[in-house]
Amino acid sequence: MFQEKSGFWASLIRPSSRFSVLTLLLVGIVLGLALIAGTHLTFEATSSPEFCSNSCHEMQTPVAEYQQSPHYSNRSGVRAHCADCHIPKQLLPKLETKVKSSAELWGKITGSLDTPEKFAARRLELAQHEWARMKANDSRECRNCHTVDGMSAEKQTPRATAMHALIGEDGRTCIDCHKGIAHHLPDNMPEGD
């Protein structure tokens, strides 16, 4: 038997007699746009170089090392920021990265990385996670700036040119040969990596 329910939930599912469909639709569109804009602004704010470098002291070690690397300072002044390497530009992969890194907030709350010693202990695991991600996407973030096409054989060392002829062979990609380009490698690297 159907019974007329009262209360909050019932008022939510009961068809509206007060507002026209058009009004409800417009309210929905405005709220939807606000949500998209809010998400966009949050993504921008949490991808900025300032946020990545300063929001938590857990990042002190990787930040300091990166600031000594050619990706921070080089003769042309083109700088790769944290987000250029670590956050995809495409919407869906970016969403995935943001959701996964929200889990890091839990680590921050529970203090799992809050001393250099704790960071050193977890570094291999964190690095392996990034290597796996870059291997799986064929070093997509590197290729946003570096193109194989654009590499001049005359300007690269002969060793680099010889090695770069191997890109794509057996699935070989940038990160296979270029680990530790922005940070020091973990002390406890497994053999063969």
Question: Which residues of this chain interact with ligand HEC, rule CB under 6 A?
Answer: 52-53, 59, 62-63, 66, 70-71, 74-76, 78, 80, 82, 84-86, 123, 126-127, 130-131, 134, 139, 141-146, 148, 156-157, 159-160, 163-164, 166-167, 172-183, 185
- Which residue, among 103, 168, 148, has the nearest Cα to 129 in the 3D structure? 103
Collapsing DSSP to helix, strand or coil, 126 comes out as: helix
Rounded distance, CA 92 to CA 99, Å?
11
Q: How far is the CB of 125 from ligand HEC (least distance, A)?
A: 9
Nearer to ligand HEC, 15 or 171 (CB): 171
As a whole number of angstroms, the distance between CA 31 and CA 128 comes to 40
Q: Is 145 annotated as a binding residue?
A: yes
CB 56 within 8 A of CB 107: no
Q: Are 66 and 72 in contact (CB under 8 A)?
A: yes
Q: Which is nearer to ligand HEC, 14 or 129 (CB)?
A: 129
Nearer to ligand HEC, 88 or 123 (CB): 123
Query: Angle CA(173)–CA(175)–CA(179) in degrees, nearest 5?
Result: 150
Q: Is 177 annotated as a binding residue?
A: yes
Binding residue positions for heme: 52, 56, 59, 85-86, 104, 142, 145-146, 174, 177-178, 183
Binding site feature residues for a menaquinol: 82
